[in-house]
Amino acid sequence: PEVTYVQPDGTARTVDATVGHSLMQVALDHGVDGIVAECGGNAMCATCHVYVDPARLDDLEPLCSDEEEMLDCTASPRAATSRLSCQLPVTEGLDGLVLRLPEEQL
């Protein structure tokens, strides 16, 4: 599935995401800037924060309680569409998904 990461300045990068990897891992693997992922994907750092296309929120894994708590610790403001990309496994159903990266992760 193709996933697009959009930087705060509007620069977009579409990559071929591997099913089963997290959207955090996909960004790192493709050298997409703007994801820090300090905790390595354990929902403990909030530096893999992304804003998801609101129309696609229902296509994603539901929020778990760890992610819910960490989303209150993001460096950039939390929005209704905020998620931690390490908690979002890639599925075929995510094809065409657009993620916006926040201004800051730290």
Residues that bind ligand FES (CB under 6 A): 24, 37-39, 41-48, 70, 84, 86
Cβ proximity to ligand FES, 68 vs 103, nearer residue: 68
Closest residue by beta carbon to ligand FES: 86
Q: Which long-range contacts (CB under 8 A, 24 or more apart) does 68-72 make?
A: 70/43, 70/44, 70/45, 70/46, 71/46
Closest alpha carbon to 101 in 2, 3, 8, 4: 8
The two beta strands, 82-84 and 49-52, are: antiparallel
User: How far apart are CB 44 and ligand FES at their closest, in Å?
Assistant: 6
Cβ proximity to ligand FES, 10 vs 62, nearer residue: 62
User: How far apart are CB 38 and ligand FES at their closest, in Å?
Assistant: 6
